[in-house]
Chain A
Amino acid sequence: MVDEKRAQSPIDRVWDFLISLKLAITVLILLASASIFGTVIEQGRPDKAAQIYEDWLINIFNKTSMFDMYHSWWFLGLMFLFTLNLTCCTLDRLPRVLKVVRNPKTIFDEAFEKSLSLAGRWRKKGSMAEWTGKCTAALTASFAAPRITNDGDAVHLYAEKGVISRFGVYITHLSIIFIFLGAIIGNMIGYKGFLGLPIGDSVQFVPVRNGSELKDVGFRVRCNNFWVEYYRDQFGNPTGQPKEYASDLSIVENGQVILKKKIVVNDPLRYKGVWFYQSSYGEDKPAARMLLRRADNSAPPETFHLLFQRGEAYGVPGMGIVRLLDFQDNFEGKGPAIQVQIEKEGRQPVPMWLPSADPELDRRRGDAYVLSLQGVEQVTWTGLQVAHDPGVNIVWVGCTLMVIGIMIAFFMSHQRVWIRLSPAAEGKIDVAVGGAATRNRLAFEKNFEKIQGELKELQS
């Protein structure tokens, strides 16, 4: 809160702005509005916009990165402001809450008693020690064990419940920071890719960033088999709508099968932090069957397929990346041939034609590996979404904290009960009781009346 007496320095003003509720609400509304724009304007598809919007509007959208909003400077800026606001609010308010929680008001004086809407007074016969004991026992039984403070001749009892509810809001705010942190980590060191893997093939390099890059996952994944089951019509004929599809995958490391799993949609395979999700498939699609040999025959040859699709590439550890460029049915009268280029770090990739009729052609490259085309055939491939996200667990911690924080903030209440015992005339004791709750006052009122009733009925 603003300290009225002190002249405000610019730093104070900035700080007050950063911790203000007004900023919080403004940022929330701005983010919400931006998100609505993001749903209405299709993201990542500026090519489609020409049919929908006028040129001048497209111009504005382009200048404000409306087609890639979530990566734009202004959206990230809003997120940053949001995080800053959350953090500053917490830094501002949490210490004060901690102070209040650590040093609760244990003295139930008359001024405070008057400020409470739930309070009662009566007089009992007996000694202070006797009533201190009785009230302590009763409060412990019906509410919580009280803290006893002696103040002059009076004795004050203070009991509380649900003190954690004071922290619900901070747990929730912290959870958002966790989620952002996890998302940032995932974006910085994680990757996502799509892999079309023909039955029988295995790969170690996964295309990421829409195939522009191949990522070495550090082990091989092999598709042993793939099935698709279709829904059937009333005559028992397949309708063409898939009911379930599944792949039998193996993880191979150093030539050893480490792990084998049948994956279906909604049930992925995970190994060393890399997840393989069943996502799509292709049936009877044309592909080039490639043969890969060592120039010196030091290891048995391997085969793999290059699917006839744009940007198709296959990585071979130690050799580089084989990228498919073109295909011809009958290349220079020698039958089918494909054009590939081999990309290796530090070398200029040169396109070359590999006719199936000349399997030794690639020896001219002088590499340790010799690549050749065995033929063109129809293959069935399984479509795998591949993801490595080291931030995901932090996101889940954040989500868990958020649910816990919201539950605490919304449904728990800090309930406090005070009792003051003070000696009165004729060997009697004055009893004063008060109660307060931060939330759900109606329920607490009932509880308080019950506690008060029980205390009143106590006899010496």
Chain B
Amino acid sequence: MEMQTLLLKSTTATYLVGALLYLYFIVTLKERGARLGRMFLLIGVVLHLFGFGMRAAEAGHTPVTNLFESLSFFALVIVGAFLATEVRYKLRVLGAFVAPLAFLFSLLSTFQKSELQSLNPALNSSWLPVHVIVLFIAYAFFAVQFAAGIMYLMQERQLKDKHLGAIFKRLPSLDVLDDINYRCLTIGFPLLTVGIITGSLWAQNAWGTYWSWDPKETASLATWLVYAALLHGRLTVGWRGRKAAIVAIVGFLLVVFTFLGINLLPAGQHTYASILE
């Protein structure tokens, strides 16, 4: 196996260790767990960036053109988005929810064919890195928002049942979690918008039409509409907190559907990487 493939695959193990350490932290509340967990995630990100760079050099294009590459890259961006959020909010607990998610995508990537594949001429464009990277960063913040949404629902259940179990002390307050919901939206939504627009510009240049209702386009539109609804819903009081958390969870499931589920559907123009290969 080439060095870069090895690097990319080895990050799966690093993310696993990171995730386990964060889980250890949330169970025992031992600071060391979170500290080490972050260290492992950081090591993972560095290895991942190296592997990504080497693969890009070898392929001659941004390596996000098949399922192995894009799943792996998604894991990288999720970890990156988590680390950025952690620095900003000092919310180490979030790691116990986000790191396993990143590990999951990384693990999924290892089941895919990892050989470098020749590039379809339609993908040979400088729009490729812009379009894909912008969208993946948006998706990563939606992943963090998704994790915060799950934490919100868990915490709320604890409060409602008046049964303040072990997990209660470990989870941040509902206000903080709702704030993360909003912050992630203010990063994710503009990036999702820019990502869809760059896709349109690219499509116009490659296919002669900026919008063709192909399944991937339509699914990304659905995602955009759901987050737009969340944005407007948050303006009314009733949509903060619980409802916002639920919509964030639904939104991220749609993101995963847009990213992976479309490959299971009948062919569209975006189906360059089939999950069934």
Question: Are A39's CB and B121's CB within 8 A?
Answer: no
Question: Are B190's CB and A406's CB within 8 A?
Answer: yes
Shortest distance between the CB of B126 and any CB in chain A (Å): 9
List chain B residues, Cβ under 8 A from A385.
Answer: 207-208
Q: Mark B202-245, 1 if CB is under 8 A from A, else 0.
A: 10111111110101101101110110110011011000000000
Within 8 A of B (CB), among A28-50: 28-29, 31-33, 35-36, 38-40, 42-43, 45, 48
Residue of B nearest to A400 (CB): B197
Within 8 A of B (CB), among A217-271: 231, 239, 241-245, 264-268
List chain B residues, Cβ under 8 A from A29.
Answer: 225-226, 229
Shortest distance between the CB of A406 and any CB in chain B (Å): 5
Q: Mark A163-185, 1 if CB is under 8 A from B, else 0.
A: 00000000000000000000100
Question: Are B194's CB and A403's CB within 8 A?
Answer: yes
B173 CB-CB contact with A under 8 Å: no
Question: Are B265's CB and A42's CB within 8 A?
Answer: yes
Complex Cα spacing A387 to B209, Å = 8
Question: Are B186's CB and A39's CB within 8 A?
Answer: no
Complex Cα spacing A268 to B203, Å = 12
Shortest distance between the CB of B58 and any CB in chain A (Å): 15
Question: Are A35's CB and B190's CB within 8 A?
Answer: no
Shortest distance between the CB of A236 and any CB in chain B (Å): 14
Contact A36:B219 (CB < 8 A) given known A28-B228, A266-B206: yes
Residue of A nearest to B223 (CB): A32
Within 8 A of B (CB), among A384-407: 385-387, 389, 392, 395-396, 399, 402-403, 406-407
B252 CB-CB contact with A under 8 Å: no
Question: Are B190's CB and A28's CB within 8 A?
Answer: no
List chain B residues, Cβ under 8 A from A277.
Answer: 206-208
Q: Mark B40-69, 1 if CB is under 8 A from A, else 0.
A: 000000000000000000000000000000
Complex Cα spacing A40 to B261, Å = 10
B146 CB-CB contact with A under 8 Å: no
Query: How many interface residues does chain A have, given as a range?
Result: 35 or more
Complex Cα spacing A24 to B229, Å = 8
Shortest distance between the CB of B215 and any CB in chain A (Å): 4
A192 CB-CB contact with B under 8 Å: yes
Q: Which of A32, A39, A277 has the most chain B CB atoms inside 10 A of its CB?
A: A39
Q: Choose among A42, A266, A410 the residue that contacts B125 (Cβ–Cβ < 8 A).
A: A266
Complex Cα spacing A323 to B124, Å = 37
Residue of A nearest to B193 (CB): A406
Complex Cα spacing A460 to B201, Å = 60
Shortest distance between the CB of B274 and any CB in chain A (Å): 15
B residues lining the A interface (CB < 8 Å): 118-119, 121-122, 124-125, 127, 186, 189-190, 193-194, 197, 200-202, 204-211, 213, 215-216, 218-219, 221-223, 225-226, 228-229, 232-233, 235-236, 254, 257, 262, 265-266
A residues lining the B interface (CB < 8 Å): 21, 24-25, 28-29, 31-33, 35-36, 38-40, 42-43, 45, 48, 70, 183, 192, 231, 239, 241-245, 264-268, 275, 277, 279, 385-387, 389, 392, 395-396, 399, 402-403, 406-407, 410-411
Apart from A40-B265, A231-B118, A265-B206, 18 more pairs, CB < 8 Å: A25-B229, A25-B233, A28-B229, A32-B223, A32-B225, A32-B226, A32-B229, A35-B221, A36-B222, A36-B254, A39-B222, A265-B124, A266-B206, A277-B207, A399-B201, A403-B193, A406-B193, A411-B186
26 sampled A-B residue pairs with Cβ under 8 A: A28-B232, A31-B225, A32-B229, A33-B222, A36-B254, A36-B257, A39-B222, A39-B265, A45-B266, A192-B208, A239-B118, A243-B121, A244-B124, A245-B121, A265-B121, A265-B122, A265-B124, A266-B127, A268-B205, A277-B208, A387-B208, A389-B209, A406-B189, A406-B193, A407-B190, A410-B190
